[in-house]
């Protein structure tokens, strides 16, 4: 494994090695659970739980929310929630061990911190809506689909990178 030293003197893993490890993890997940990874399921479980706590009658009468509510169990008791928590905890451990945890907003000198936050929030909301419409996040569909050699997984990956490449031209001034 080769590492790369960046400008800020931290050593980062080679991204190809990280991608290789992600592929091994996805194959291992298929072997253990019979399905791929997915973070959008954890967000869905969290939203359903919050709605159920705030407005239980609405959650029970709503077709979408009610399918995830069970009398003897909570939507938070799913392995996807524990996966997402593990990713968050692991990120903080990694950042702590490498001395990279600090409060800052990274942005280009060409834009303000406020504009960077607005674009990040807007992108996150659009990603979340798209994940709900698609019944799962794009990265999970692409990576999990490709792991089982599904043509849909490869088409999804091409669509993700193709649309990102096509729209990057219009937004690049915010980061370059």
Whole-prediction pTM: 0.61
Report the candidate in 113, 130, 116 with the shortest Cα–Cα distance to residue 164.
130
Contact 49, 76 (CB under 8 A): yes
Over range 154-163, report the average pLDDT: 85
| pLDDT (tens digit per residue) in 17-71 | 887 888 788 778 778 877 767 677 788 888 889 999 999 999 999 998 888 888 7
Over range 89-100, report the average pLDDT: 85
Query: Domain extents for the chain?
Result: 104-176
pLDDT at 2 over 70: no
């Amino acid at each position: 494994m080769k590492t790369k030293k960046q400008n800020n003197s931290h050593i980062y893993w080679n991204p190809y090695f990280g991608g290789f490890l992600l592929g091994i993890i996805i194959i291992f997940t298929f072997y253990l659970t019979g399905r791929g990874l997915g973070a959008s399921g954890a967000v869905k479980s969290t939203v359903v739980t919050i709605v159920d706590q705030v407005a239980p009658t609405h959650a029970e009468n709503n077709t979408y929310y009610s399918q995830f509510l069970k009398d003897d169990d909570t939507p938070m008791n799913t392995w996807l929630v524990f996966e997402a928590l593990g990713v968050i905890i692991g990120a903080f451990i990694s950042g702590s061990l490498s001395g990279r945890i600090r409060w800052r907003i990274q942005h280009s000198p060409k834009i303000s911190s406020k504009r960077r936050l607005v674009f990040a929030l807007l992108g996150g909301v659009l990603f979340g809506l798209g994940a709900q419409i698609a019944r799962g996040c794009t990265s999970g569909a692409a990576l999990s689909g490709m792991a089982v050699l599904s043509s849909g997984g490869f088409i999804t990956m091409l669509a993700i990178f193709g649309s990102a490449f096509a729209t990057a031209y219009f937004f690049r001034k915010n980061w370059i």
